[in-house]
Amino acid sequence: MEKEYESERQLGRRLTECEADRGKIALRTGLHMIFCILMDIVSLGGIRAIRNFAVRPPNMGVVILDVVLTLVIGLYPLIHLRDTLAFYEYGIVFRKKVYFWSELGSVEWRTHTYGGIFTSVVMATNKRAFSVTYLKQPKKQYNRAYMKQ
């Protein structure tokens, strides 16, 4: 803990910070869950087969596998609730790890839209790419910190 605190002190003054975008995470989680539930219905034989479970029950292995996969895949976006990105004079802190600009190099922003509605945002440097998709306005905060806008 002391080493982490010392590294943050070497970064200089904190300029701004991005927190997790809870709205985007909630939307993605909801969409993942809807997709998984639809896939569960298909894997169990459709609505008609589900209505006849009293007459012909499904294989419990399939049901357990469906429930586990639905929870894992459907709730996956929730891991991003703790994501943070703090901009400092001489570096950044991303997911509680310290990175210095002298090691990272210059920043390039990449935005990729897939499916027409989903957007992925990456802050790419010379050494590493950071997926900042689930953060609130990271590019705007970067510009506010370093471009004085």
Using one digit for the tens of pLDDT, what is the confidence trace for 52-95? 777 777 788 888 988 999 999 999 999 999 999 999 999 999 99
CA distance 68 to 87: 38
Whole-number pLDDT of residue 40: 85
Which residue pairs from 136-141 have beta carbons closer than 8 angstroms and sit at least 24 positions apart in sequence?
136/18, 136/19, 136/20, 136/21, 137/18, 138/18, 138/85, 139/109, 141/16, 141/17, 141/18, 141/85, 141/87
Task: Tokens for 12, please give them.
Answer: 């200089």
- Domain assignments of the chain as residue spans, ordered by start: 2-20+83-146, 24-77
pTM reported for the whole predicted model: 0.81
Task: Report the half-sphere exposure of 16 (CA within 13 A, side-chain side).
Answer: 15
